[in-house]
Chain A
């Protein structure tokens, strides 16, 4: 328990200054000393990309820019994965991927999911890993944060007393209205570049260096052949620029590791210290984003309320998982080790607590990297992991976690407004049928995709390639689609998942799960920005009040509980209750 407390304390202690830094460095409406530091680099990048920094985008232009860039990146990555056998930087002569696995891999990384239906070190060349994978590992968390910034500027920023917003700030990038009256939400490429240059790259550099110090490889040399102690066979040990990739994998809620076994592998996570660094890195930016948005939007108390709900959710599922993994594994009952914690599928060097903590945090944040096998968690531990991913806003993926929370907040504001006798409104702006239709669609998509695909898959068991029948088998399928939709990427594994069925259905879950919950709030923010704003008063809904924070938490629990309880009952809960 001490290790857990230490991790939470360290996390908050580090996220606080980082969040304050991000709030200043990413605010396009204020010029800071960071502009002089990073400005030249950004200028060069912008000019290379041909981006007009002075321009600003409406919400729809922003949304289209996000989609266009991602389609392009998916296309490029797909081609690289299929053609890597013919391309350079492939010292180990790894062949190209099949079209469907390549597509799944491209979409999976372009959605910040990093669900892997292949084994990293064996099936990807250095070119694929460093250019296709790592590029996406930087672009996708930056995109999540960029969309969050756009929403913060539009929806969250406190209105000044004057209702007519000046056309634009001197820099031309602030919130303003163009001649048609459409509200500008910022500039996607400016945001993207700032986030990568000012936050992701410096942080990754620090973490990568720390990991190299701890012994994680960083080289472009090919695999090393080692003669084993028994002197007989030579063993090939794959390596490469591992440390830099692991850094962004952990920091960017990515999760896709260099090696197939991810951070259970000693070369990816060699020491106790490296495990601590990687664990903290899971949650660092998601927590800091909350603080950054508080700084940028000026809505500190709102962010404190949201943070309180997230921490409460985090503590609840983390405790459930930690306690569950301290229980013995039922499969070993009657053996000598009976009574020890569940260590199946775990690194003995980390033990059950640190594995459970990582498992909990990695599912809360949509990261999905692992330092233990989730498939081997006790059923209640698995239940905790699934619950984390259903909720998916316990800090959540970078940017998208808070955006997802806003989606629930909109729903709660709708009900809360009615309960105080006002026509539904959010931040004083009317929530009407158009907004509710899209919010509802984003909420509906989750059970539709996860339960629909799970049901379709288990209807034809020949497709599933399950290693387990029964309750655990159902959990495996459910986990796979949940992980895809939540853009988590961790796996229960035990599935023969490199088939066209799995690849294509997961592509559907990945795409919908990423873009719908991320872009609907952006659209809603855009629509609301063009409406009247009722001033906050005694008669209006206060989103900072304890009652409303509780209502939002209740909405999150009820929506997820009601949607997924039957599936959970048939999966992990039945498995737990039927344990011998």
Chain B
């Protein structure tokens, strides 16, 4: 965590004002303006005003000052929009760049038929095999084909604790730039140059090459249409005004046009998209396309792995349940002593629980440890005096007790079943031929997860828990965690089937996976999130990769997606609602000179026509930088039912957007009125 915090504060993320200005100016070139029709119209309007200013100065007209100020404000409007995009891009790139920097000028040892050769990392191609030894950086994304080792992935994830990666397991994937701490690996490179996760990530935040997401494209169509509508409105206004004997001022008409077209959302739209990607990246989620981030917001069904998402991942002892007639203290002691030499988290938790309950455990001197084996399914202690203490799977222990001539107590079955039904795993304990009782090993549900699911339910997202547990255990955990549904004894095929069922019912499904056998399901899901530690097949099938390999990330992905869409919708509404006030400022100003009676429409009682127009365009321009934080951070998101969310957002951005410009324009006018 410490590294992550320090990276956020690193100078790379601070935006230099001069660089920002340079970037904003550079984006004035027609090619990059053409990508955004709304701002392109503003730019053309600026040119028209500039030409008019030139002509006015030439003719020595008083209009020149007014026209030149309008020109400057319009130019500022375009620059503000460019700056918004540049800022979002700079933040994203700084993030990605700091990752790339760690990779530096890597070299790789490529394994060839004749031996090894040293090549630059950026010349490695898919299928190449490279040898990496302890202390070296992994030169490219790939999969371990031989060996195992612990790897420091903090360069990618910010998490400094080393992780184990091993060939032939579900944890065989490695990323470029991460450091091998121990052992030696042969890694098969899985990407061609320029195609690594990092490269894809950078492409998502680079304005010029960024692919627009589907709903962004549809929204752009709408915004272009609105721009065209207002172009028609303003252009046709000229002959209509002439017909009724009103000469219109070109500069004022351009000002009207710029105020009416949706410059606020148009100017911020690219920034919102880039910032959405950047927020995903900040959560260490690498989307392979912008579409993946966007679709996360519309997910209807979440398939969640129990382990790691809902429960902490390892079981802990939560109860000692002695059989009838057995002393709890004795059970506790035997269980505790048996576990003292057990290095697994489960074993340690038994000791912890025994200690918590007041047992004093001292390691026995004269005992030999019998380690756990998959065959016997038990472990324990053999004392020199012949006593044999055992703990293990209930049926295995029961069989041993019977073989040793003991009797299985009548309530043993009941105890085992009760514990299973509550979602815990029973572990039986025996001393010689006496069955002492059962230890309950429970999955510990993550704190706060139930509230999280409650929020998801509030938002209408259905959660399905996937677990390999038996149905009884699964049902108990599902009930405690508050998921909507669960699948017990799940196989990858069952997951795939479930995804297809949900999709056939029209739902969008998200799932997370890491194994090769998860790949088909990851590919089938609308949002497939692979753990970075997962196999190459899983990472390729998914459309998003979580660098932290944290199964809980699906929830964050959903929130980031929703926030991205809401920000677009909210600013579109705000932008359109603003137009009403701007109309009431500019229309009277355009006509009032010729038809004084139309001054009655000037509800704001603005100082003069010039000051009214200037106030409106200044407001229009300033709203863009004022909303940049909104665009970059995303609007505030609170989980709620759709209808409540719609009501709240309509009130804030719709009604607010309608009313806010009136006092704002009036205030600006009070100031501008001093000069015009």
Give residues in A with beta carbon < 8 Å to B. Answer: 163, 411, 414-425, 428, 431-433, 435-437, 440-441, 443-444, 447-448, 451-452, 454-456, 458-459, 461, 470-471, 473-474, 532-535, 537-542, 545-548, 550-551, 554, 558, 561-567, 569-570, 573-574, 577-578
Contact = CB atoms under 8 A, between A and B. Distances in A.
Most buried by A among B568, B587, B601, B650: B650
Contacts of A455: 235-236, 238-240
6 contacts: A417-B569, A419-B653, A455-B235, A534-B507, A562-B260, A578-B595
Most buried by A among B569, B646, B647: B646
A202 to B, nearest CB: 41
Contact of A423 (B295, B572, B649): B295
A452 B236 CA distance: 6
A479 to B, nearest CB: 13
Interface in B495-552: 503-508
A566 B566 contact: no
Contacts of B237: 566-567, 570
A495 to B, nearest CB: 14
A566 to B, nearest CB: 5
Given A444-B225, A566-B587, A574-B595, A534 B508 contact: yes
Contacts of B228: 444, 448
Interface string B432-472: 00000000000000000000000001111100000000000
Decide if the interface of chain B is mainly helix, strand, loop or mixed: helix
Contacts of A535: 300, 505-507
Interface stretch (B2-10, B332-340, B573-581): B573-581
B642 interface: yes
B641 interface: yes
A311 B442 CA distance: 62
A223 B232 CA distance: 49
Contacts of B642: 420, 422, 538-542
Most buried by B among A433, A540, A551, A566: A566
B295 A419 contact: no
Contacts of B503: 532
Nearest to B246: A570
Given A418-B572, A423-B565, A565-B583, A577 B600 contact: yes
Given A163-B504, A421-B563, A455-B235, A561 B650 contact: no
Given A415-B573, A421-B566, A532-B506, A458 B239 contact: yes
Contact of A440 (B222, B245, B646): B222
B217 interface: yes
Contacts of B650: 419, 547, 550-551
A423 B459 contact: no
Contacts of A569: 587, 591, 598, 601
Contact of B580 (A419, A473, A558): A558
B221 A422 contact: no
Decide if the interface of chain A is mainly helix, strand, loop or mixed: helix
Interface string B188-205: 000000000000000000
A539 B505 contact: no
A550 B583 CA distance: 22
A416 to B, nearest CB: 6
Given A437-B221, A458-B240, A474-B240, A421 B233 contact: no
A470 B217 contact: no
Interface residues of B, number: 78
A438 to B, nearest CB: 10
Contact of B229 (A431, A443, A567, A574): A443
B562 interface: yes
Given A414-B218, A558-B577, A541 B244 contact: no
Contacts of B641: 538-539
A23 B128 CA distance: 70
A420 B221 contact: no
Contacts of A470: 244-245
A558 B597 CA distance: 25
Given A416-B646, A423-B298, A545-B646, A574 B587 contact: no
A537 B566 contact: no
Contacts of B597: 574, 577-578
Given A532-B503, A542-B643, A574-B598, A419 B573 contact: yes
A339 to B, nearest CB: 23
A416 B565 CA distance: 10
B654 interface: yes
B212 to A, nearest CB: 10
Interface in B640-661: 641-643, 645-647, 649-650, 653-654
Nearest to A466: B243
B637 interface: yes
B16 interface: no
A455 B235 CA distance: 9
Contacts of B219: 414, 418, 436
Interface in B469-508: 503-508
B415 to A, nearest CB: 41
B433 to A, nearest CB: 58
A554 B658 CA distance: 11
A429 to B, nearest CB: 8
Nearest to A538: B460
A296 B570 CA distance: 35
B146 interface: no
Nearest to B572: A415
A418 B569 contact: yes
B233 A422 contact: no
A423 B235 contact: no
Contact of B506 (A461, A533, A541): A533
B507 A473 contact: no
B568 A414 contact: no
Nearest to B641: A538
B561 interface: yes
B643 A547 contact: yes
B294 interface: yes
A561 B580 contact: yes
A570 B576 contact: no
Interface in B285-336: 294-295, 297-298, 300
A433 B214 contact: yes
B603 interface: no
A456 B237 CA distance: 11
B646 A551 contact: yes
B583 to A, nearest CB: 6
B565 A574 contact: no
A537 B460 contact: yes
A447 B229 contact: yes
Among all A-B residue pairs, the 9 with the closest Cβ atoms:
A539-B460, A418-B569, A421-B562, A440-B225, A455-B236, A538-B460, A458-B243, A419-B569, A577-B597
Interface in B616-645: 637, 641-643, 645
Interface in B161-202: none
B230 interface: yes
Contacts of B298: 421-423, 425, 534
Contact of A570 (B225, B240, B506): B240
B414 interface: no
Given A547-B647, A577-B600, A570 B222 contact: no
B215 interface: yes
A547 B642 CA distance: 10
Nearest to B215: A423
Contact of B645 (A420, A456, A550, A558): A420
A244 B577 CA distance: 48
B240 A567 contact: yes
B289 to A, nearest CB: 14
B179 to A, nearest CB: 39
A421 B645 contact: yes
B241 interface: yes
A578 B235 CA distance: 25
A547 B646 contact: yes
B184 to A, nearest CB: 47
Nearest to B600: A577
A539 B587 contact: no
